Amino acid sequence: MTQIKNKVVVITGASGGLGAHLAMDVAKRGGLPVLLARREDQLRIVHESIVKETGVEAPYYTLDVSDLESVNQVFQHVLSEQKDVHILVNNAGFGVFEEFLDASWKNIEGMFSTNVLGLMACTRAVLPSMLQRGSGHIINIASQAGKISTPKSSVYAATKHAVLGFSNGLRLEIAHRGVHVTSVNPGPIATDFFTLADKSGNYVKNVQKLMLQPSHVSEKIVEAMERPVRELNLPWWMNVGSTLYQVMPKLIETLGGKSFRQK
C-alpha cells in the first residue's frame, strides 16, 4: 500500500470535471496536487477551492499538452520547484463524436495530439526521475472506447486504443523498476466533456442513466494510487462486454445493434 500523504501528484486536465475531483481528493488525503490545464481562470478556481476546503496550496500551471515544447518547459519548472513527481495522472483529453468522413482534419489531429502525443510527452517528462528514484506511478485515463469502438467515435476510440497500447507496452518495458503503470477505462462520465463531444445532446440523453459520477471515478482512481493495479475498469459490467468482445467480436457487434448507435 502506498500512502498519498506528502506525495506530489501531477494532474493534467485539472481545470474541471474528473481532474478537479481528483485534485480535491488527493489534497484531502494529504497529498500535494499539482494542477495543469489550458484555462488559467478555471485552474485558479480549482486551486482556491482546494485551499479553502483543505488548506493545501495546490500549485497550478497553464499547459496545453499538445504543445510539446510547453510540456518540457512546464515539467522542468514543476520538477525544479517540487523536486519529485511521485504520481502523474494523464487526464487531459477531448473527443468529438462524428462520422469519420464528416470529421475535420483539425479535430482528428487535435485528438491525437492531445490524447496520445501529449500523454506520451508528459510521461516522458517525469519518467526518467521516477526510474532513477526507483518508484513512481503513471496513471493514464483511457476509456472503454479503447476496447470497443462504436459509430461516430472511430477517431476518438483510435486515440484511446493507442493509449492502451502505449500503457501496456510501457508497463512491460519498466517492469521490476519500481514504477507502476495503470490504465483507467471508464464508461461515460457526467462531465463537460460532452459539451464538445456531443453537441447534439443525443448521446447524453440516451445514456444519461448509465453515466458515472466523477466523484465515484475519482475515488476509485485514488484507491488505485494507494494500491496500484494494472487496469481500472468502470463500471464493471461494461468491461464484461469489452472482454467478451475480444473473444467474439462479430457476435457482440451483432448483438450490440442499436445500443452501439447511441450517438
pLDDT band for position 12 (cuts 50, 70, 90):
very high
Confidence (pLDDT) at 257: 65
**Mean pLDDT, all residues of the chain:** 92
Residue 36 has pLDDT above 70, yes or no: yes
Which three three-digit cell numbers place residue 91?
A: 487526464
User: From the CB of residue 208, how many other CB atoms can be counted at a distance below 10 Å?
Assistant: 10
Mean pLDDT score, 184-200: 83
| Banded pLDDT at 247 (limits 50, 70, 90) | confident
C-alpha cell at 53: 476546503
Fold type of domain 8-260? Rossmann fold (3.40.50)
How many other C-beta atoms are found inside a 10 Å radius of the C-beta of residue 164? 17
Please say if 61 is a catalytic residue.
Answer: no
Residue 250 — pLDDT band, cuts 50, 70, 90?
confident
Q: What torsion, rounded to 10 degrees, do the Cα atoms 168, 19, 221, 205 define?
A: -90
Of 69, 80, 66, whose CA–CA distance to 129 is shortest?
A: 80
With bands split at pLDDT 50, 70 and 90, how would you rate the model's confidence at 206?
low
**DSSP conformation letters of 250-261:** HHHHHHHGGGG-
Per-residue model confidence as pLDDT tens digits over 211-229: 899 999 999 999 999 999 9
What average pLDDT does range 194-212 have in this prediction? 75
Give the residue with greater pLDDT, 38 vs 202: 38
pLDDT of 9 > 90? The answer is yes
The Cα 262–Cα 205 span in angstroms is: 9
Q: How many CB atoms lie within 10 A of CB 56?
A: 19
Give the model confidence (pLDDT) of 83-116 as tens digits. 899 999 999 999 999 999 999 999 999 999 999 9
Question: pLDDT band at 2, cuts 50/70/90?
Answer: low
Residue 117 has pLDDT above 90, yes or no: yes
What is the residue whose three cell numbers read 488527493?
A: 26
Helix (H, G, I), strand (E, B), or coil: what is residue 177? coil
Q: Say what the pLDDT of residue 262 is.
A: 67
Whether the predicted pLDDT of 1 surpasses 60: no
Other Cβ atoms closer than 10 A to 100? 12
For the segment 225-242, the average pLDDT, to the nearest whole number, is 90
What is the DSSP track for 99-129? -GGG--HHHHHHHHIIIIIIHHHHHHHHHHH
pLDDT, one tens digit per residue, over 58-67 is 999 999 999 9
Question: What pLDDT is recorded for position 261?
Answer: 66
pTM: 0.91
Marked catalytic residue, from 60, 61, 156, 203: 156
* Lowest-confidence segment of 100-114, 167-181, 182-196 by average pLDDT: 182-196
| Contact predicate 205/6, CB 8 Å | no
For residues 49, 219, 240 and 94, what is the CA-based torsion angle, rounded to 10 degrees?
Answer: 20
